[in-house]
Chain A
Amino acid sequence: MPKVAIVKRELSKIATVLAKVLVILLGLLLAATLTSIATGNPLKLISITLFQSFTNLNVFVYISTLLPTAVGLSLAFSANAWNLGAEGQLVFGAIGATFIALFTPLGRQEIIAPIAALIFASLFGALWALPAALLKMFRGINEALTTLLMNFIAYYVANYLVKGPWRGRTVYGYPTTDMIPIESRIPTAPGYSFSWYVVVACIAIAVLLYLFLYRTRVGIALRALGSSIHFVELSGLSSKKLFLIAFLISGALAGFAGGVKILVYHKKLVEGSIVGGGYGFTSIMVSWLGGLNPLFVIPASYYTAVLYILSFGLQIGSAAVGDALSSTIVGFLLALILLADFLTRYRIVIRFR
Chain B
Amino acid sequence: MLVEVVKIISDPLVVALALWVLGDIFVERSGVINLALDGIITAAIATAFVSTQNFGYLISLLITVTITLAFASLFMIFINILHAYHVLTGLALNILFYGLSALIGLRFQQSPSITTLNLNSLTLASISILTAALTWLILYKTSIGTAIRACGFNPRAAEHSGVKVWRIRFLASIIGYIAVGIGSYIYATVYRGGWSQYTGRGYGFLAITLAMASTWHPLLSYPITLAFGYLYTSIYSLQLLYGIPPDVINAIPYIASITIVTIVYSTPLHKKLATPRALGEVYFREERAA
Binding site for B on A (CB under 8 A): 5-8, 38, 82, 84, 131, 135, 139-142, 144-146, 148-150, 152-153, 156-157, 159-160, 163-164, 281, 284-285, 288, 320-321, 323-332, 334-335, 337-339, 341-342, 345-346
B253 to chain A, nearest CB (A): 8
Is B248 a contact of A153 with CB atoms below 8 Å? no
- Report if B52 contacts A (CB, 8 A): no
Which residues of the partner chain A approach B261 to less than 8 Å between Cβ atoms?
A: 141, 145-146
Is B99 a contact of A324 with CB atoms below 8 Å? yes
Stretch at the interface among B84-92, B126-134, B136-144, B177-185: B84-92
Is A327 a contact of B102 with CB atoms below 8 Å? yes
Given contacts A142-B280, A156-B247, contact A328 B100 (CB under 8 A): yes
B231 to chain A, nearest CB (A): 13
A133–B61 CA distance with the chains assembled, in angstroms:
43
Is B245 a contact of A320 with CB atoms below 8 Å? no
- Report if B47 contacts A (CB, 8 A): no
Interchain CB contact (< 8 A) of B257 among A7, A149, A288: A149
Is A284 a contact of B102 with CB atoms below 8 Å? no
Report the tally of A-B residue pairs with Cβ distances under 8 A: 143
Is A342 a contact of B87 with CB atoms below 8 Å? no
A24–B170 CA distance with the chains assembled, in angstroms:
29
- Report if B3 contacts A (CB, 8 A): no
Given contacts A6-B81, A335-B78, contact A153 B87 (CB under 8 A): no
Which residues of the partner chain A approach B26 to less than 8 Å between Cβ atoms?
A: none
- Report if B212 contacts A (CB, 8 A): yes
A323–B33 CA distance with the chains assembled, in angstroms:
27
Given contacts A324-B103, A339-B82, contact A140 B208 (CB under 8 A): no
**Chain B minimum-CB-distance residue to A135:** B262
Please give the number of chain B residues whose Cβ is less than 8 angstroms from any Cβ of chain A in the complex: 47
B52 to chain A, nearest CB (A): 20
Which residues of the partner chain A approach B113 to less than 8 Å between Cβ atoms?
A: none
Which residues of the partner chain B approach A146 to less than 8 Å between Cβ atoms?
A: 258, 261
Is A145 a contact of B245 with CB atoms below 8 Å? no
A94 to chain B, nearest CB (A): 16
Is B95 a contact of A334 with CB atoms below 8 Å? yes
The 19 listed contacts between A and B (C-beta, < 8 Å) are A135-B262, A135-B265, A139-B262, A139-B266, A145-B212, A148-B208, A149-B254, A152-B209, A152-B250, A152-B254, A160-B247, A160-B248, A321-B103, A325-B103, A331-B96, A335-B96, A337-B92, A338-B84, A342-B84
**Chain A minimum-CB-distance residue to B39:** A331
Instruction: Tell me whether chain A's interface is mostly helix, strand or loop, or mixed.
Output: helix
Is B102 a contact of A142 with CB atoms below 8 Å? no
**Chain A minimum-CB-distance residue to B256:** A149
A158 to chain B, nearest CB (A): 9
Is A342 a contact of B96 with CB atoms below 8 Å? no
Is B265 a contact of A141 with CB atoms below 8 Å? yes
Interchain CB contact (< 8 A) of B93 among A84, A131, A335: A335
Which residue among B81, B254, B279, B284 has the maximum number of chain A CB atoms within 10 Å of its CB?
A: B254
- Report if B97 contacts A (CB, 8 A): yes
Query: Which of B232-258 touch A at CB < 8 Å?
Result: 245, 247-248, 250-251, 254-255, 257-258
Query: Which of B94-140 touch A at CB < 8 Å?
Result: 94-103, 106
A345–B89 CA distance with the chains assembled, in angstroms:
16
Having A149-B257, A346-B82, one finds 9 other A-B pairs with CB under 8 Å, namely A135-B258, A141-B265, A145-B261, A145-B279, A160-B248, A327-B96, A331-B94, A334-B96, A335-B93
- Report if B83 contacts A (CB, 8 A): yes
Given contacts A84-B87, A320-B102, A342-B84, contact A163 B245 (CB under 8 A): yes
Is B106 a contact of A327 with CB atoms below 8 Å? no
**Chain A minimum-CB-distance residue to B279:** A142
Which residues of the partner chain A approach B250 to less than 8 Å between Cβ atoms?
A: 152, 156
Is B83 a contact of A320 with CB atoms below 8 Å? no
Query: Which of B137-176 touch A at CB < 8 Å?
Result: none
Is B251 a contact of A328 with CB atoms below 8 Å? no
Is B286 a contact of A331 with CB atoms below 8 Å? no
A169 to chain B, nearest CB (A): 19
- Report if B191 contacts A (CB, 8 A): no
Interchain CB contact (< 8 A) of A284 among B33, B91, B106, B197: B91
A342–B197 CA distance with the chains assembled, in angstroms:
33
A345–B279 CA distance with the chains assembled, in angstroms:
22
A325–B107 CA distance with the chains assembled, in angstroms:
12
A326–B98 CA distance with the chains assembled, in angstroms:
10
A284–B83 CA distance with the chains assembled, in angstroms:
18
- Report if B205 contacts A (CB, 8 A): yes
Interchain CB contact (< 8 A) of A342 among B82, B102, B251, B280: B82
A327–B257 CA distance with the chains assembled, in angstroms:
30
A163–B93 CA distance with the chains assembled, in angstroms:
33
B218 to chain A, nearest CB (A): 18
Is B265 a contact of A325 with CB atoms below 8 Å? no
Which residues of the partner chain B approach A331 to less than 8 Å between Cβ atoms?
A: 92-100
